[in-house]
Amino acid sequence: MRSSSSNDYRVLIFAPFGKDAGLIEKVLQQSGIATQVVPTPADLARCISTGAGTAIITEEALRSSEIDALGRSLANQPPWSDFPILVLTGGGVSTFSSETAVRSRAPLGNVSLLERPLRPATLLSAAHSALRARQRQYEIRDHLQQRKMSEEALRRAHDELESLVEQRTAALRRLSTHLLRVQDEERRRIARELHDSLGQFMTATKINLDLLAQDASQSPERLRDAQQLLDRAISDTRTLSHLLHPPLLDEAGLSSAARWYVEGFGKRSGIATTLDIPADLQRLPVTIETALFRILQESLTNVHRHSGSRAVDVKLAADDSAARLTIRDYGSGIPPKLLERFRQDGTNVGVGLAGIRERIKELGGTLDIQSTASGTLIAVEIPIGEAPALGQRVMPESRAGFSAP
C-alpha cells in the first residue's frame, strides 16, 4: 500500500506575473505549509501528477489554451482523486466577462475562486480547507489500495484453496478407485480360497461321512445330522463364494453372470425380476464387466433394502462404442433433496451409490438417476476402451488339483 509523502501535501503556486508568487509562498510557509512555485502550465501538470495537496493559480495566468491542456491532464486522475484548485480572481463586481471566465474554467474540475485583494487569513483558511479535502482523498486512496490488496490476497487464498481441494479430491478419487480395485481383488481371492480350500475340505469330509453312514451300526442318527450340517455348509460356502466373485464372470462373461445373479436375486428376495440381454452380447473388457456386475449387485441390493418394490427390470446392452446398463424399480423412490445432494457432491445416499459413482468415474462413464414416488431408474453408460481389447480376459489363478466350480 502506498504511503503519503511530503510532496502529497505541498501547495503548488502558479503566478508568473508580478510579485504574487513570492507573497503567496511567504504567507503559506510562515504557517508551516510546504510550497513549490511552478513557472509553466506544463510544470504545474507534471507536479500534480507526482503528488500535491492543492494548487493556487492567479486568474491572469490561465489562458484558454492553458486551461484546456491542464484540464486534459486533470482528466487522467485516478477515480479517487478530485484535485482542488484555488484561483485568485480580480476584485470588483461580477460582469459578463468574469462569468464567462468562470465557466471557461470548468475543465479544471474542483475549482474554488478567491477574490483579490484577500487577507492572509483568508488565503490560509482556503489552503487548509483544500489540504484537508485532499487528505480525505488520500485516505480513500489508501482504503481502496488496502481493499485491493485484501481482495488479491483473498483471491490467491481462494485459488490456493481450490487447488488444494482439487488435489485432495483427486487423491481421494485415486484412493477410492484403488480401494474398489483392492475390494474386487480381495473378493476374487476370498472366493478362490472358499472354493479351493474350505470347500474342498468339507467335500472330502462329506465323502468320509458318507462312507461311515454305510455302516448302520455306528450312530446313524448322528451321522445323518452331520451330513445335513455339512451339506448346508457346502451350499452356503458355494453361494458365498459365487456372490463374492462368481466364476461365471471370469469363465463365461457378464451375460452369463448377470443371468445367474438376477435369477438368484429373484428367488432369494421374492421380487419379480426381468432381465433383457441380447443373445449375441459379446465379451467386454474385464474392467468393464467387473464394474457392471458390481453395479448390478449394488443396485439390486438397494432395491431389496430400500425401495419396497415388488418388481425390478434389468436391461444390459453393448455396441462397439459403449456398454449400457439400466435398472428400474417401482418402489418409493429416493427423496428429492437427497437425490439433488447426491448429484451435486455424491453424498448423503449411502455407500452403495457412492461406490457406483466412483466405479463409473474411473472408467469415464456416465450415471443418470431418475427417481419419483413411483420408482427409480438407474442408467449407466461406460465407453469401451482399447485395453484390454474385446474378448480378452485376465483369468484368475488356479489352485493345483482343483478346477473352478
Per-residue pLDDT of 250-259, as tens digits, reads 788 899 889 9
Domain spans of the chain, in order of start: 9-118, 248-394
Q: Do residues 179 and 214 make contact, with C-beta atoms less than 8 angstroms apart?
A: no
Question: What's the average model confidence in pLDDT over 8-14?
Answer: 92
| Domains 9-118 and 248-394 belong to one CATH topology | no
Q: CATH number of the domain at 9-118, out of 3.10.105.10, 3.40.50.2300, 3.50.50.60, 3.30.70.270?
A: 3.40.50.2300
- Confidence label for 375 from pLDDT (cuts 50, 70 and 90): very high
Q: Judging by DSSP bridges, how do beta strands 111-115 and 85-89 pair with one another? A: parallel
Q: Is the pLDDT of residue 284 over 60?
A: yes
Q: Is the pLDDT of residue 102 over 80?
A: no
Return the residue matching grid coordinates 458390481. 294
Q: What integer pLDDT is reported at residue 217 of this predicted model? A: 64
Furthest CA-CA distance within the chain: 146
Question: What's the average model confidence in pLDDT over 278-304?
Answer: 89
> Has this prediction a pTM greater than 0.75?
no
Return the residue matching grid coordinates 486512496. 141
- Confidence label for 110 from pLDDT (cuts 50, 70 and 90): confident
Between 43 and 94, where is the model more confident? 43
Percentage of the chain with pLDDT > 90? 31
CA dihedral 211, 215, 217, 220 (to 10 degrees): 50
Before 405, cis peptide (omega within 30)?
A: no
Q: Is the pLDDT of residue 29 over 80?
A: yes
Record: fold of 248-394: Heat Shock Protein 90 (3.30.565)
